[in-house]
Structure 1
Amino acid sequence: MSTTFDNVSAIQAIVAAHSALAVDHAHIVGKSPPAGNAAYQASFQAARILGFIETDAHCIATAWHRQSERLGRFDPDHWPSDPIDFDIQPQPRLNGFPPCPRDLGLYAVLPTAQWVARMAQSGVTTLQLRFKSDIQADIEREINAAVRGVQGTQALLFINDHWQAAIRAGAYGVHLGQEDLDGANVDAIRAAGLRLGISTHGYAEMLRADQFSPSYIAMGAVFPTTLKKMQTAPQGIGRLQQYAKLLRHYSLVAIGGIDHSNLSNVLDCQVGSVGVVRALIAAASPEMAAAELMAALRTGRMAQS
């Protein structure tokens, strides 16, 4: 392939075939890619042109090289989606976390225990307490109240970040962002029997999350959101579809700017759960908004079956 491979044509073919993955993002077109074979270099440059950040472009290019070696040919139309090409190991694994339902349904991310109890009583199936405070006593009190708030309901409660307090309170699970992984004792969370969810924003972070064998992986932000300052551009439906295909053996949560207007497109990507924040807490009637979103989820699932 090295003597006949047309790098420019390969880059153009990849970009043309996968334009649905392009996003508006500052990237460096024409920067020399890391050393690699022809398939790697072409796919790396094409990924950069499509707006993937450099670390994600490296993951894509490495997988495309492995795919080409495995298939015996370079195919610009075949975006890599086989876990083996990304060095994702088969499941179950020795370091695996306890599983959670493949279909977590509506996943509400909420700021207080009062909100958690309110949405649990409204029938929301999966809840996350994202309580922000630097005062440990307040954190402990809020988490304990949230755990009590879901008792007697079917809701599954994940605690954002505060893994030690979550263990002490007996929460169902913990959710960690990429930065939280650096300071968390993941082995202690696993030993306590809690589930683990991890946030990701692209290929490099997905592959890092996979190394922990979590209970679910969250992917976003799918659409623009004003709730958090994001380091990466909104990923969009095209990328979400590819991410879900690659991580198909996981329970998956799509999150970021999702509401009624785009819910059906998200569900078409075969994710098992949709995370919402503003769609509930900013609604005139959060209970009604939750009921409508859950009904839309059921309708979407029926249409897929």
Structure 2
Amino acid sequence: MKLDPFYLIVGGVDRLAPLLPLGVRLVQLRLKDTTPHDTRVQIIQARDLCARHNVQLVVNDYWELALELGCNAVHLGQEDMDRTDFNALRRADISFGLSTHDDAELERALSHDPAYVALGPVYPTLLKKMPWGPQGLERVADWKRRCRDTPLVGIGGLTPQRLPGLFAAGADCAAVVTDIQLADDPGVRTAQWVAATRGYAPLTTANA
């Protein structure tokens, strides 16, 4: 999969369509509290939209639908890993990224040889209540040392102003949710993120 320094995360395909033409190259569709029918429809729409704009789509959680619908990348939380058929994903050439928050979760994630590891929240975030406090840039640097060649995605409380520190600490990619969702003009904010990350080289990664 193509891993861009700017990783847009949206909660619905309706939020995705107006942002794709702004230079987005990597996007995750994170659907919560949707019906099975709506979930399927939105993944299909996102798949087709991203294909038209040459954007890498990552499906959050729904790895079985990703398999069925011909998507080539998924993101999985630790709880999702318990019920995921990783061999089926590999056979279908579907890349997968994995969330981590502590040492045990990092070791578990790296044992699956993921396309990337995500660490968060780096800074305080309004997205949802979490049992983990802000990880901070020192943890980002420690994670990158331990990940070695596996790309590291930072998520949580990120802004364009915090981007230089995040990348200096070793992150390869900045995943952005609320800074765009809560912006007065999500399109303008997305364009600012695209501009802020264009000085960093995109990566091409694949699961072994």
Give TM-score scaled by structure 1 length.
0.63
The one of 126, 129, 133 aligned to 2:33: 133
Give the drift of 1:145.
1.0
- The answer for the alignment partner of 2:135 in structure 1 is 235
Higher share in strand: 2
Amino acid at match of 1:257: G
The answer to whether the 8 Å contact 2:124/2:157 transfers is yes
Distance, in Å, in 2 between the alignment partners of 1:127 and 1:183 is 24
Q: Is 1:213–2:113 an aligned residue pair?
A: yes
Listed as ranges, the matches of 1:92-171 within 5 Å are 100-101=1-2, 103-133=3-33, 135-171=35-71
Q: Is 1:187–2:91 an aligned residue pair?
A: no
Distance, in Å, in 1 between the alignment partners of 2:111 and 2:144 is 17
The one of 168, 171, 188 aligned to 1:271: 171
Q: Secondary structure at the match of 1:226?
A: coil
Unaligned runs of 5+ in 2: 202-208
Q: Secondary structure at the match of 1:294?
A: helix
The answer to whether the 8 Å contact 1:223/1:234 transfers is yes
Amino acid at match of 2:168: D
Amino acid at match of 1:291: A
Q: Is 1:245–2:150 an aligned residue pair?
A: no
Q: Secondary structure at the match of 2:174?
A: strand
The answer to whether the 8 Å contact 2:78/2:98 transfers is yes
Cα RMSD between the aligned structures?
A: 1.6
The one of 165, 187, 198 aligned to 1:298: 198
Unaligned runs of 5+ in 1: 1-99
Q: Secondary structure at the match of 2:96?
A: strand
- Per-residue CA deviation, residues 181-201 of structure 1 (Å, 9 max, x unaligned), is 111212112211111010011
Give the drift of 1:104.
1.8
Amino acid at match of 1:166: A
Compared CA separation, residues 232 and 290, structure 1 to 2 (3 A) = same
Distance, in Å, in 2 between the alignment partners of 1:107 and 1:134 is 23
Q: Secondary structure at the match of 2:175?
A: strand
The answer to whether the 8 Å contact 1:129/1:146 transfers is yes
Distance, in Å, in 2 between the alignment partners of 1:252 and 1:157 is 18
- The answer for the alignment partner of 1:17 in structure 2 is none
Amino acid at match of 2:50: V
- Per-residue CA deviation, residues 224-265 of structure 1 (Å, 9 max, x unaligned), is 112122121110011111111221311221101000231111
Distance, in Å, in 2 between the alignment partners of 1:154 and 1:218 is 23
- The answer for the alignment partner of 2:76 in structure 1 is 176
Give the drift of 1:105.
1.6
Distance, in Å, in 2 between the alignment partners of 1:135 and 1:183 is 20
User: Displaced runs of 4+ in structure 1, greater than 6 A?
Assistant: none
- Per-residue CA deviation, residues 26-48 of structure 1 (Å, 9 max, x unaligned), is xxxxxxxxxxxxxxxxxxxxxxx
The answer to whether the 8 Å contact 1:114/1:146 transfers is no
Compared CA separation, residues 185 and 134, structure 1 to 2 (3 A) = farther
Q: Secondary structure at the match of 2:113?
A: coil
Distance, in Å, in 1 between the alignment partners of 2:103 and 2:6 is 24
Give the drift of 1:294.
1.8
- The answer for the alignment partner of 2:204 in structure 1 is none
- The answer for the alignment partner of 2:206 in structure 1 is none
The answer to whether the 8 Å contact 1:123/1:153 transfers is no
Q: What is the number of equivalent residue pairs in this alignment?
A: 201
